[in-house]
Amino acid sequence: MATFVQLVVVGLLTGGVYVAVGVGFGLVWGVLNIVNLAHGALVVIGGYITWQLFTTMHLDPFLTLPVDAVALFVLGYALQRGLINRIIRAPLLFTFLLTFGVNLIVVNLLLLEFGSDFRSVTPAYSGQGLQLGSVVIPYVQLLSLGVAILLSALLAFILNRTRIGLAINAIAADRDAAQLVGIDLRHAYAVTFGLGAACAGVAGGLIPMIQAITPTAGEPYTLQAFVIVILGGLGRVSATVVGGLAFGLVEAFGQSIPGSGSVFANAIAFGLMVVVLVTRPQGLLGRLR
């Protein structure tokens, strides 16, 4: 029983990062119909910004998160406005390839700049945790989960309560109708992608406290984000939150099976995805469209 509780706690805590990784990806996919293969690379950029600020200016990593968000928003806005908007009416393979090209460029520029060394961010409280009976809850992971929930709430607020958020919702519902009522599509598309990138940046700021990063560390996050969004269901922030937490739980329990280990992480994730896609294609919380 104690191990069961421990596994649930570990799963939910790791799920926090997955939520942060998933929400931005889900937003871009749901609204713009773009599967952003550069999402993991954007996450890693956020990680390097946090690492740089932490090592040179000794800023607390959690205080660097707004910097990550703003920097990645600007980058994402420019990417969508300058490149992806150009092929938005092309077949789907093309957005795939374009974002993969961006991924290649970003990853290799990071390699040129930072090398392939592992980098991690270790604030003073990184080893400590909350003792609850036999279960230990590390502060960093607890705070990360809090940040992820806060980030999702903020995103949901922007989407449902602000003017640009309503415009984004209108585009998701019907692009041409949205244009007819006077929404500037190019700008709104770019803002949507920027918001997705900003979420990726925040997720990236959290990751180096939990796991050391390299420029190539982003790829699994892209794939995991895809699985998370499918697991929860496309189109709502809350569904992605559930998907991220569920993914964390599945991973925690999957790795506790004897004979298995972290080496099968991808196989478990994709096995899960195929099962969900075949049996419940709308996701755990999704509605059929």
Partner 1 sequence: MIASGRRWRRIFVVVGGILAAYALLAPLTSLDAAQSANVPLLADRLWFRIATYIAMFIVMATAWNIIGGIAGYAAFGNVAFFGIGAYTTGMLVAKAKWPFLVSLPFAPLVSAAFAGLVGLPLLRLRGHYFAVASLGVGVAVGELVQNIDYGGQPLFGGASGLFLPIYSVGNRDLFFFYLMVAAAAIAIGITWWVLRSRFGYGLIAIRENEEAASVLGVNTTAYKVAAFALAAALTGLAGGIFCQWSVFINQDNAFPIEYNVQMILMALLGGTGTVFGPAAGAVLLQLLIQFLGGSLPISFEIPFVSTDARPIVAQVFLGVLLVVVVIFVPRGVIDFFGGRSRLSLSYLRRSLRETSL
* Residues in touch with partner 1 (CB under 8 A): 29, 33, 35, 83, 85-94, 96-98, 100-105, 107-109, 111-112, 185-186, 189, 219, 223, 226-227, 230, 259, 263-264, 266-267, 269-271, 273-274, 277-278, 281
Dist. CA 223–CA 40, nearest whole Å: 8
**Which of residues 116 and 131 has its CB atom nearest to partner 1 in the complex?**
116
Q: How far is the CB of 22 from partner 1 (least distance, A)?
A: 14
**Which of residues 102 and 246 has its CB atom nearest to partner 1 in the complex?**
102
Q: Which residues pair with 129 in a beta bridge?
A: 138
CB 169 within 8 A of CB 156: no
**Which of residues 6 and 216 has its CB atom nearest to partner 1 in the complex?**
216
Q: How far is the CB of 97 from partner 1 (least distance, A)?
A: 5
Neighbours of 211 (CB within 10 A): 13
| Amino acid identity at 97 | L
Q: How far is the CB of 206 from partner 1 (least distance, A)?
A: 24
What's the Cα-to-Cα distance from 11 to each of 143, 246, 250, 252, rounded to whole Å? 15, 8, 7, 5
Q: How far is the CB of 156 from partner 1 (least distance, A)?
A: 23
**Which of residues 181 and 263 has its CB atom nearest to partner 1 in the complex?**
263
DSSP label at 61? H
Q: How far is the CB of 232 from partner 1 (least distance, A)?
A: 15
Q: How far is the CB of 237 from partner 1 (least distance, A)?
A: 19
Dist. CA 115–CA 196, nearest whole Å: 27
Strands 135-138 and 129-132: antiparallel
Q: Sign of dihedral through CA atoms 139, 141, 144, 149?
A: negative
Dist. CA 23–CA 176, nearest whole Å: 25
**Which of residues 111 and 136 has its CB atom nearest to partner 1 in the complex?**
111
**Which of residues 67 and 277 has its CB atom nearest to partner 1 in the complex?**
277
CB 245 within 8 A of CB 15: yes
Q: Which residues pair with 119 in a beta bridge?
A: 213
